[in-house]
Structure 1
Amino acid sequence: MAETNRRKGRPWGQIRPENPAAGRLAAFLRAQVDGSGKTLAVLEKEISYSSTQISSLLGGRIPPQRFVTSLIQATAPAPLRERRQGEAEALLYEAKHPPRAMAPRASAATAGPGVPDLAAVQAQQIETYDRLTRALEQQAELRQTADNAARLIWILLGMIHKLNDRVGALGRERDRAVGQEVLEAAQSKLERARSQQAKAENELGRAEEKKQQAEALAARLQEQIKALTDELEFLRGRGGAAPADDLPGLAPFTGPAGPADPEGNDIDTALARVTAVNDTDSDTVHRIATELGEPVPVVVPDNRPTGTDAPNKTARELRAEAEAAMDSGDFRAAARLYALLTTASAGFLGPKDPGTLVSRYQYAYCTAEAGAPATARDLVAALIPDETDVLGADHADTLTSRHQLAYWTGEAGDPATARDLYETLVGDYERVLGPDDHDTLTGRHQLAHWTGEAGDPATARELMKDLARDQARVLGADHADTLTSRHQLAHWTGEADDPATARDLLAGLVADETRVLGSDHPDTLLSRYRLAGFTGKAGGLEAARELFRTLIRDETRVLGPDHPDTLISRKQHARYTGKAGYPATTRDLFGDLVADETRILGPDHPDTLASRAQHARYTGKAGDAAAARDLYRALAADVERVHGPGHPRALAVRRQLTAWTERAGGPGTEAD
């Protein structure tokens, strides 16, 4: 069964953040992935996180430092990497340190100094309400723009199919023409139809681009709306509603004068309306982007996959080019080709023809791989009833589509529905294929995964435990799927607040991965990193320190001393050394790390600044309050220069500077 073990694909569904800053961070990191052009399948090999973990962490959860750094290293262009890392670090800090809720307001009669008066609160209410209203209006405009573009895409796909027929018919008409006048008229119509083909293809590309740009801006606005709504609810106890706008009205279009060609005139009229809507939508996107102070989201244009005569290609040629695009990893081009093929096949053979059903599935699959799981979900949801009607509910293709529907539902940001779909599917797998079939086991893996993602790690742990046992029996203890499930079992065990058991599970897994995959395999190194982390969370500070020390040795040998994973492991080693009660050693570890991060990442990189803060902290804890004061003073100046004096990091450093200045007995001098 195709794609039943697939755990890849870009998960750009709805962001459900733990707090507004986490939502902004998720949107920012998603934009870096989009800009890199890399799929999750590629990224999971580069940053040592699985595609499902990447999807989850980019869905609004607060990710670990290691993930953020690795993702930026893998996606940001080298000239912008330091800047993007700084932006991501700032957002991560805000996500981890959300502002505390204000204490209940005192009455006007009892309000003391510094307590806002009623007029100030009301002014803030009005200002917040105005901003929220405008954001809702902008979001409604963007959603309408995306809807317009989606409708245009389907209209243009049908128009291209019809133009394919028209060009062919006009070519035959020209070849049969008798007489110069008739020949010239036929040639004129043919040239006009070919020009219309090119324009329809161009407008299709514009519509696709506008749809993606509008959706990206709307996602950014959603985080702003959430923050403003929270602020207004605090101030007033209620929010607002989003207005809905209609499609812009278009003036009637009169086609140009020319040979009698009513069908061509109709096509020109339709293309003119399409162009007008595209122009209006383009203006909307650029206007709102300007109002938000955001750059227009960059959409990398598709390479023209089939040349200027794409509509003239046969179904066999389109299918061959689509398959070639899939094989090369160009899923956006493949999705467009399969869309053309699906339109043509549905027109000639019908939407339920077996060949059309295959094209519809491939169209959905390539759409998901191109980064639009929500659209793919909707496409395959429409496909399943037709497959059930034509092939039967228990047919392999129907079951495959149901698997993909469940998976893409989860990837689109709805883990609870994905869990429910997999629960029903697993029952059908067991009835049709048997409990030990590979597809049944894969469905069970996905059921456990999405159960955990839906907020029930304890049940996910039990499901994964049973699955790992059955996979060991059916596939073998050393099979890749078995090892993967064991890793997930440890993960969900830790998520279920049992770090000690997670530690023990990972210890056994590391031993087996070392034997099966080798000690230097990325999966082994990742499991060792997480083993060290869960060991520390379970209270084994000395053991965690030692595990990180040996991991650093091997990462330095395998990855190199300057690799992001090596640097992150060094930071964790220093952290647990401090927790274990060795402030002087921790001071020296952070001092060495600061020197290397300054050389590799730059003096203003967030990691460098964070390590400098820890170096200053443990310098003080090691007994040298004056040196700690001086380190914090220098750090405060640099953090304020990089982030601004009002940034949370700058304020935190200032608080530490004040504390260590008091402990040192005074501010000292620069010469000190």
Structure 2
Amino acid sequence: MTGKAATGGRPWGPIHAANPQARRLAEYLRRRVDESGKTLAVLAGEVNLSKSQISVYLGGRLPTQRFVDELIVATVPASLRARRREEAGGLLHEALHPPRGRVGPTAPGATHPAPGHAAGPAAAAELAALQARQIETYDRLTRSLEQQVELRQAADNSAKLVMVLLGMIHRLQERVGTLGRERDRLGSAGARELESAERKLARAQAQEEKAREELRRAEDKRREAEELAARLQERIEALTDELDRLRGDGPSPHDALPGLAGPAPADAPAASDDPEGDDIDAALARAAAVNDSDADTLTRITTELSDPVDAPTPHSARAADPRSSPDPARASVAVPDNFPTSTDVPDHRTLEEVRDAARAAGKTSHAAAVVAYDTLVRRLVEERGPDDRATLVARVDHAHHAYMAGRPETALNIYLSLVDDCRRVLGTGDRITTEARLGLAHVTGTSGQQARARTLYQELVRDCRRTLREDDSFLLEARGGLAHVTGMGDSEAEARDLYAVLAEDAARMLGPHDRNTRAARRGHAHWTGAAGDPQRAHQLYDALATELEAVLGADHPEVRGLWTSAGSWGSRPAR
């Protein structure tokens, strides 16, 4: 039993045993591990040994009686344990007390091979195939770790972009209000001035809609990156286990896996006749570029992850097995643009095809995505069960697209049951639970239930503080949401104070010029003015603009926008 599992599953490394009886014991124990379906990482926790020590014992070295007993308990059903323990105990006794002299008849003049090793060219070929498999698995594990770094970078980009866009939307709402008042004031003035004011107002409203669309994309990508990260972690664990199995009693082939670090994004400005509008356009263009770049990364990793962990390769024993080859008809099927929407039409697509269709629909039409995710959720419930993590993630996406498609009641109903299910299955501290709760609080607030939304945000902030780091993007988003919904509920002074504390904390944890800190400081300045102190709002905007001008330069869009806001509040009388 060298080079592959008894059940035809993941392969094992060669057995280097001191005698034939020790080899039989190692083969027997490997069969128990294969039958259990457990990885060496799981078994390490159950038998209180490291994966490397388990590999050594299963590679032919004589184990202790305790290891044999604990392995039988961990891998064999209770009804068979007594019998298997007796069999393993007998094999261990034979291995520890092998018969003296020659084992079995040997032809005159024949030589004995070294204990635990096969003889001849077959052994050399087998060893070469095993080494090739180790190299191939090591390469795939290295690539998976590189993908993990890329996913972390994409998720981090999306989290930061969400905070920046929230600040931008805040600023645009302010600008729309200012331009609306200016247009009303010019109602009796000349047609030229009125036309200019209306043009600027229409542009600001379009920019606000564009910012909201980029915010939706960034939130979608953050969710997709988290789901991909969970799938990638499963692949990394499977590949790590495969290397442990192939290792035998040699050194671990993944002891020296590379330490990987990710790249960082870039920046760029612009200018013209409506300078603030031009600056906002430039910032939106950069946001779209970051979204596009990360979307490409997620699409590529999704495609790469669609290959199974143990796909046939030239070095694999399964490569020559026609039963393991992918179905050519399925491999050539494109994901249909018009997916079935009626339950009366048989849907012969694979689960992956249904998932890909839902994601594709989400990038083009929220209304189509609602139908596609409804189909995906039903399929996941049928094939994986209602409590599977992938099912819960798909329900989060379903609720999000329902809200974006103008169906807030549908979204609210989905979120209400989803939050309860996530808490029950995943626990309050899980990130999917937190994301569902953020969605519920947001939809509740935008549906006019400000008091209820505020309570939801307060509970969320409390729980996030127990389970997340203070600088976690979810906690910062929850605190920003609480401050915003408080202000929208006619408690401008309290919103000002919440933003003041958030800005102070963000500056302490992330630095005074971090994007999250800047967004919180802008919120503090805005709600200070809205609470009736335009002079103080002017001072806050002025101080932030002065600091950032020294860091980013006078022509940076954000700096110019801050100066505009400072001027706007400076010209308003106190209430």
Fold agreement, TM-score > 0.5 = no
- Give the greater-gyration-radius structure (CA): 2
TM-score of the superposed pair, with normalisation by structure 2: 0.45
TM-score of the superposed pair, with normalisation by structure 1: 0.39
